[in-house]
Structure 1
Amino acid sequence: MAGHATPHFQNDAGHARIEIGVKEFMCVGANPPFDHPHVFLDMGDENEKVCPYCSTLYVYNDKLGAEETLPEGCLLEAARSVA
Structure 2
Amino acid sequence: MADHKIPHFQNDAGHTAIEIGVKEFMCVGANPPFDHPHEFLDMGADNEKVCPYCSTLYKFNPSLGAADTLPAGCAWEYQAA
In the alignment, which residue of structure 1 is the partner of 2:18? 18
Q: 2-side partners of 1:69 and 1:63: how far apart?
A: 10
In the alignment, which residue of structure 2 is the partner of 1:38? 38
Over 3 Å off, 4+ runs = none
Q: Give CA-to-partner distance per residue, 1:17-42, whole Å, 9 cap, x none.
A: 00000000000000011100000000
Q: Give aligned-pair identity as a percent.
A: 77
Match of 1:21, as an amino acid?
A: G
Using the size of structure 2 for normalisation, the TM-score is 0.89
Find the structure with the greater CA-based Rg: 1
Gaps of 5+ in 2: none
Write 1 or 2 for the structure with the bigger share of strand.
2
RMSD over aligned Cα atoms: 1.3
Using the size of structure 1 for normalisation, the TM-score is 0.87
| Equivalent residue pairs, number | 75
SS in structure 2 at match of 1:53? coil
